[in-house]
Every structure is written in C-alpha cells, then in structure tokens.
A and B are shown apart, each in its own frame.
Chain A
C-alpha cells in the first residue's frame, strides 16, 4: 500500500495530513485526490487502503455519524465515534467481505476540551496516540516525531514538525507524494496550508 498520512495533536488542536495520490500498483493516476474526510463538525479521518473499500467505508461511517447527529441533536464525541468505527472494522474482518481500510481519526472533544487522535488498522486495532503516522510514513517519520513532539506543542511547532515529516518522506521514500492537511480545533475543521509541498 503506497499511502502515507500523519497526525499530530497539541493541547487544543489536531493536525491531519495525507498524501493525495490515487492509482493502482506502481501507476499513479491522480495526484490531487483528497483522502481526508470530515465526518462531523469536529471530526476528521485520513484514510488509506483498498480504493473501493475506502470510499464505501468512509461514506458509510460519515452517513451513520450524520444520522446520529440528526437523531440526537448532538455530534458524537471523538472517543465514542472511534469505538463505533472500530467496531465496524472488527466485525467486518471476520465476515465474508472485510473492509481493507486503515485510518487516522482526529477530532476535538468540545465538552471535555481535549484533542483526540486514533490510529486504526483494518483488523480493528485502535490506539489513542499523541502523534502517529500511517502507511509508508511510519517507516520514515515516526522517529522524527519522537524527537520533535512534546506535550502541549504549539501550532507553529506542530506545523514545522509536519513539514519535517513531509521532507523526510521526500528524502527517503522512492515514491513522489503530494500532501494536503486539515487543522481541527474547537472552531471546527479548516484546511491547513502546507507551503511548498508539491
């Protein structure tokens, strides 16, 4: 799987970044595909995996979270949303047709005033982490994050750290990736400008 995504949390925000390539095997057919989906007002998912499964899975999750919001008139907080998403994956893995989807889930809990980041794989393994990577990114950027991340990191430094990770990808991976990113905080989800990462 030739995807690559990153997540970094600070005290009151989460940064999610993902590569934008779409293709099959060694062929890249598109380099501006958005692979970060907003699921609810303050919840986002950066996903990768089998192309057909990903779109189907993300649509399913998005619509069910929307349905919850309409029924209960409140959005599902990141922690319960992560449990819900994990359950779909965990039940599917032992079914006839599993979803081959791995993802990073980033969100902001407005009630508890906390930022949340979850790493999930297609088996339904879920871990809450302060910073993480998915896909090829784990091999080149986790040590960069280990070195530069610290608790309550500022937005500026988290942005710089993200830049370092993307630079590392360019330096060490044979694949050419372009990235997009979002920033999630108490005010919702915004696009995060990555300068010079074409």
Chain B
C-alpha cells in the first residue's frame, strides 16, 4: 500500500477571472495504477455560488462531502441564509483540524462568489485551498491540489492572466487541467469544469486522453 494521498489519484484546480471563478477536476478513480471509474467527480456544489473540490483519498472524499452537506444544511436552517465562501472555508478548516492527529487525507479547494450584501455590495471572487489539517491559503490567481499538483502549478503559471472573462477563463482552466493531467499517470480520464459567474453557473464535461 502506498500513501493514501496517491492511492486513488485525481486533481482539482480553481482560478479567478473578472467577476467570475472556475473550478475543475479530472474524473479518474483508481486503485493504485488500475483505473476503475471515469466518472468520479471530485467537485461538489455547496450552493448556487459556491463549489468545493475534495481530491485525495476517495473514501474521505465521500465521507467529507456527506459531512459538509449535513453541516451546510444545518447552517442554512439555523441562519436562514446561504453560507458565504469565506465562512464555508473556516467551517471546512475547523472540520479538518478536529481530526488533527488522524486527518482526512484530502486537500480541499474552494471557489465561489459571495452574494452582494449591505456591507459588501460588490464582492470579489473567492478561491482558497487547504492542507489536510485545515490551514487555509488564499491566493489571488489560482489554487491547485491532488496528485498532479506540481504539473498544474507549472502550466497554470504559464497560462493564467488577470481579469479573464468567463469564456476565456473556461478555456484557460480547461487547457491547464488537460495538459497537466496528461503528465500524471493517476489523474485524467476526462474532466469537468464549472465556471461560476454572478448570475449563472456553466458546467461542461471535457473529453481527455484515456491512457
């Protein structure tokens, strides 16, 4: 058995644009080098403006997704409003830190646009990532996670530019992900991309190399 982080494979990336964010994942799930499924999505909707990517150990992907669904539903009922990306990031962070000495083997990626409020009428797009025990990093440009992390950094560093429009951002994130996972044996097998804008979400499935 190898490390849990590399057992199932899979990668996630998120990027900011002009009044939009995009988040994408590959679709492979494997047991070491053997591919088992080509429709295992690692990015899940939290609400209309917020997505979370949970790459890493697949059993924890499922456990965390179910746990977060419960926590966010409870938040929605108690507060009678949707959770903001920043609050959700801290919710997830403390959920991960609760398991400090026996962590979930997941490196989450969060992407979303906060709804306009009285305090913040023109909110900025939000992206962040975390380590397995919930330490949050919030860069301006892009975040990556999963087994193709190093490749994703390289390609994203070369392709990303500030203030991309939604369609250009879609192209950038798609090319970045597809190029990076082709150099990773345990990521790939297709991809799914979500582009979040203020008024809608564009979800597209991409075909990729099947080797």
B59 near A: Cβ within 8 Å?
Answer: yes
Verify B59–A119 contact, CB threshold 8 A: no
Verify A124–B34 contact, CB threshold 8 A: no
Which of A28-36, A71-79, A86-94 lies at the interface? Answer: A86-94
Verify B59–A90 contact, CB threshold 8 A: yes
Interface size on B (CB < 8 Å)? 14
In the complex, chain A residues whose CB is within 8 Å of the CB of B4:
123
In the complex, chain A residues whose CB is within 8 Å of the CB of B36:
119, 127, 129, 132, 138
Closest chain-A Cβ to B40's Cβ sits at a distance in Å of 6
Closest chain A residue, CB of each to CB of B8: A125
Closest chain-A Cβ to B91's Cβ sits at a distance in Å of 21
Q: Which residues from 18 to 51 on chain A have a C-beta closer than 8 Å to any C-beta of chain B?
A: none
Binding site secondary structure of chain A = mixed
Q: In the docked arrangement, what's the CA distance between A176 and B58, Å? A: 33
In the complex, chain B residues whose CB is within 8 Å of the CB of A138:
31, 34, 36
Contact partner of A124 (CB less than 8 A), chosen from B31, B37, B40, B62, is B62
B117 near A: Cβ within 8 Å?
Answer: no
- Give the interface centre of B29, B58, B59, B63 by most chain A CB atoms within 10 Å: B59
B57 near A: Cβ within 8 Å?
Answer: yes
Closest chain B residue, CB of each to CB of A102: B31
Verify B62–A86 contact, CB threshold 8 A: yes
Given A121-B31, A138-B31, is A127 in contact with B37 using a C-beta cutoff of 8 Å?
yes
> Sorted from nearest, which 5 A-B pairs have the closest CB atoms?
A124-B59, A125-B58, A123-B59, A127-B37, A125-B59
What residues make up the interface of A, taking CB atoms closer than 8 Å to B?
Answer: 86, 89-90, 93-94, 119, 121, 123-129, 132, 138-139, 142
